[in-house]
Amino acid sequence: MILALYLIAIYQRLLELSQQMLRFAVEGEWDDLTKKEVDYVSAVQRLA
Q: What is the mean pLDDT of residues 4-11?
A: 96
pLDDT at 19 over 90: yes
Residue 43 main-chain phi, psi, to 5 deg? -65, -40
- At residue 7, the pLDDT reads 95
pLDDT at 13 over 90: yes
Helix residue ranges per DSSP H, 1-48 = 2-27, 30-47
- At residue 48, the pLDDT reads 84
The mean pLDDT of the chain is 96
The CA-atom distances, in angstroms, between 38 and each of 4, 5, 44 are: 24, 23, 10
Q: Give CA–CA dist 3/24, Å, rounded.
A: 32
Q: For residue range 24-47, what is the model confidence (pLDDT) as tens digits? A: 999 999 999 999 999 999 999 999
pTM of the model: 0.88
